[in-house]
Amino acid sequence: MRIRAQVAMVMNLDKCIGCHTCSVTCKQTWTNREGTEYVWFNNVETKPGIGYPKHYEDQDRWKGGWILDRKGRLTLRSGGRAKRLSRIFANPDLPSIDDYYEPATFDKDLLVSAPAGLTDTPVKRPRSALTGEPMAITWGANWEDSLGGQSGQDDPSLARMATKVKLEFEKTFMFHLPRICEHCLNPACVSACPSGAMYKRAEDGIVLVDQDRCRGWRMCVSACPYKKVYVNHATGKAEKCTLCFPRIEAGLPTICAETCVGRLRYLGIVLYDEDAVLAAASVPDPQDLLDAQRAVFLDPRDPGVERAARDAGMPDEWIEAAKLSPIRKLISEYRIALPLHPEYRTLPMVWYVPPLSPVLDAAGAAGRDDADADDVFHTIRDLRIPVEYLAELFTAGDTEAVAGVLMKLAAMRSYMRSRTLDGTVAQDLLDRIGMTAEQVEAMYRLLAVAKYDERYVIPAAHAKDAAALDAQAAGHDGCALDCEGGPGMSDPFHLSARP
C-alpha cells in the first residue's frame, strides 16, 4: 500500500444558481491574458446541454479518457503509444476554436470618440478578440445559459436515453453544472503527454503543466475527456486549472470556491492507496467504477491507516486535515457525492452532490407534495427522467445509485422539517436510508449551514515533505501509473532530456 493525499473538491449542485461568479473570478486570476481569451478553467454549463467545448462528452468523437482493450487492460481511447505517436504532427481529435467559441470584444471607444451631431447613434460592434476583425457573435462558453440556447436535445447523455425522454426533457428539468479540471487519480492527460510536461504532484495530487517542458504536442487536449486542457495560442503550450496551488499551499481555498455565491463548494484532503488505482480504473463494468473508486480511498480515522500514513512521511497536520475533511464525509461517510462520468476511467477528484430540485419540480408538476418524503420517494421511483439523466452523468447509467443519493437528500429534508417544526424524530425515514439521527443532522449542517472553516479544510503545504514524497514516487516524473506494467507513457522520445 502506498498512501497518498489528494486535495479534492465536492460541489452541491442544488445550491448552484448559475451566477458564473466562479468563472469570472477564475478568469480574472488565471486567464486574463493574450492567448487565453477563449479559455475558462472554470466554466458553468446548463444541463441538459452540449457544454463547453461543444459535445465534449461525446468520446466517440473526441477519443478522450481510457477504455479497456480486448485483454481487459487499461489503454487510452486515443490509441496505444504507436498510434498516438503516428499522429503527433496531425492529431484529428482536437477541438477547433469553433468548438469552443470565438471570443469577442467591442468597439467601445466609438461610444466616446464619435463626432458630435451624428444622425445615427453610435453602437459598439463586436470584433474578434483573436483577429480584430468585425464578427457576428453566434456562440459562447455560456451560450446555453438556462436553456436559452435550446441545444439541449443534442446533449450526448440524452442521446443514450429513450426518445420519450428526449422529447420531454425541457418540460421537466434543468440545472447548472460548474466544471474545473478533475485532478484525476488516473489522469489521461498526463499519460498521453509525450514530453513528460504534464504531471501529478506527489504531495497533493494537483495536476499541472511544466511550461518549460511542454512542446505543444496537444495530446493532452485530446486525451482529457473533460476537455480541461487548453492551448495558449500565443505560446503554443498547454495550460489548465492549477487548483489555485499557490493558495492551496497557503491553506486557502481556490478562487472559485472562495467566491462561490452559493457556498456550494467544499475542499479538503482524501487519503488513497496509489497501488489500488490501476485495478480500480480497470474494473470491467463501468457501473462498478463508483464503488471501485470509493474503495481506493482510505479512512484516516483507522489507526492502521494513520500509522501507515505517518510511516510514509505524511505530516501530522495533513492526517488531521484528512480526518476533518468535508470531502471524506460527503464521498465516503454519507455517500452522497458522485463523480462526473466515472466511465471515462480517469478516477476524477471533483465530485458532485446531485441536485434534488429537478425531482422536486417533477413531483410538483405531477401533483404530488414535494414536502412529503413519501411522495418524493415515489417520484424518484416513478418519474425516471431526471434520475436517468443524472445517472448518465454521475454513475455510468446506474439509476439505483443516483436514486439512493436522492432519497437520502429527500429524507434529510423531511427529517429536519419535522425535527424543527414539530420537534419529532422521524425514525422511519432514518431507517429507510440507513443513517442515524446524528449522521443526518451532521450531513444537514455540512450541506446547509457549514461555515468557512468547515467547508475548506486545507493544511498548508510542507515543501520539504513534498520533496521526500516526490523521491518516493515510482521511478517516474509524470504520473503514478507511468511505471513498469502501468499504462502511462511519460517520455518516449526523451525530449525532456534534450537541451
Element (H or E) spanning 255, and its range?
A: helix 255-258
Site for ligand SF4 in 136-165 (CB under 6 A): none
Check binding of 20 to ligand SF4 (CB under 6 A): yes
Is position 330 an interface residue for ligand SF4 (rule: CB under 6 A)?
A: no
Distances (CA, A) of 283 to 235, 400, 405: 39, 19, 22
Residue type at position 209: V
Cα-to-chain-centroid distance, residue 364: 30
Nearer to ligand SF4, 187 or 268 (CB): 187
Least distance (Å) between residue 181 CB and ligand SF4 = 3
CA 253 to chain centroid, in Å, comes to 16
Q: Nearer Cβ to ligand SF4, position 353 or 435?
A: 353
Query: 315 vs 339, which CB is nearer to ligand SF4?
Result: 339
Residue closer to ligand SF4 by CB (options 103, 178) is 178
Quick one: which segment of 226-234, 313-321, 383-391, 411-419 binds ligand SF4 (CB under 6 A)? 226-234
Q: For residue 204, which amino acid is it?
A: D
Nearest approach, Cβ of 39 to ligand SF4 (angstroms)?
Answer: 13
328 binds ligand SF4 (CB under 6 A): no
DSSP 8-class letter at 456: B
User: Which DSSP state fits 448?
Assistant: I
By CB under 6 A, residue 182 contacts ligand SF4? yes
Compute the least distance from the CB of residue 255 to ligand SF4, in Å: 10
C-alpha cell at 306: 494513520
Handedness of CA 282, 287, 289, 294 (dihedral sign): negative
Query: How many angstroms separate the CA atoms of 135 and 131, rounded?
Result: 10
Does the footprint of ligand SF4 cover residue 357 (CB under 6 A)?
no
Nearest to 255 by CA among 449, 34, 453, 30: 30
- Which 8-state DSSP code applies to residue 449? I
Q: Which is nearer to ligand SF4, 16 or 410 (CB)?
A: 16
Q: Which stretch binds ligand SF4 (CB under 6 A): 151-159, 176-184, 210-218, 276-284?
A: 176-184
Looking at 329-477, list the stretches that DSSP marks H as alpha helix, in order from N- to C-terminal side. 357-365, 373-382, 384-394, 399-421, 427-433, 437-444, 452-455, 463-472
CB 414 within 8 A of CB 372: yes
Selected binder of ligand SF4 within 224, 292, 340, 363 (CB under 6 A): 224
CA distance 142 to 149: 9
Residue in 5, 8, 9, 22 binding ligand SF4, rule: CB under 6 A: 22
Q: Hey, CA dihedral for 4, 7, 13, 18, is it positive or negative?
A: negative
Identify the residue whose cell numbers are 488505482: 277
CB 44 within 8 A of CB 179: yes
Residue 271 C-alpha from the chain's centroid: 18
> Which of these segments, 99-107, 125-133, 138-146, 261-269, binds ligand SF4 (CB under 6 A)?
261-269
Binding ligand SF4 (rule: CB under 6 A), the pick from 48, 178, 253, 487 is 178
In angstroms, rounded to a whole number, what is the distance separating the alpha carbons of residues 179 and 23?
Answer: 9
Under the binding rule (CB under 6 A), the answer on residue 17 touching ligand SF4 is: yes
Q: Supply the minimum distance, in Å, between the C-beta of residue 260 and ligand SF4.
A: 3
Nearer Cβ to ligand SF4 (223/433): 223
Grouping H, G, I as helix, E, B as strand and the rest as coil, residue 486 is: coil
Residue numbers 237-256 binding ligand SF4 by CB under 6 A: 240
* By CB under 6 A, residue 54 contacts ligand SF4: no
With CB under 6 A as the contact rule, the residue among 234, 261, 279, 467 that binds ligand SF4 is 261
Q: Which residues pair with 46 in a beta bridge?
A: 176
- By C-beta, is 262 or 487 nearer to ligand SF4? 262
Task: Kindly indicate which of the ranges 31-39, 258-266, 318-326, 437-445 contains the residues binding ligand SF4, using the contact rule CB under 6 A.
Answer: 258-266
Contact status: 181 vs ligand SF4 (CB under 6 A): yes
Taking the complex as a whole, how short is the minimal distance between the CB of residue 154 and ligand SF4, in angstroms? 22
Task: Give the three cell numbers for residue 428.
Answer: 422511519
Helix/strand number for the chain, H first, E second: 24, 15
For ligand SF4 (CB under 6 A), the number of binding residues is: 28
> Which of 197, 207, 305, 336 lies at the binding interface for ligand SF4 (CB under 6 A)?
207
Q: Which of 19, 114, 308, 416 binds ligand SF4 (CB under 6 A)?
A: 19
Q: Using the 8-state DSSP alphabet, how is residue 134 labeled?
A: B
Single out the residue of 2, 21, 153, 258 in contact with ligand SF4 (rule: CB under 6 A): 21
Using CB under 6 A as the binding rule, the residues of this chain from 372 to 431 that contact ligand SF4 are: none
* Residue 450 binds ligand SF4, judged by CB under 6 A: no
Shortest Cβ 257–ligand SF4 spacing (Å): 9
Neighbours of 122 (CB within 10 A): 14
Alpha carbon distance 159, 151 (integer Å):
12
Question: Which residues of the shown chain bind ligand SF4 in the complex (CB under 6 A)?
Answer: 16-22, 44, 176, 178, 181-184, 187-189, 207, 224, 226, 228-229, 240, 260-262, 264, 346
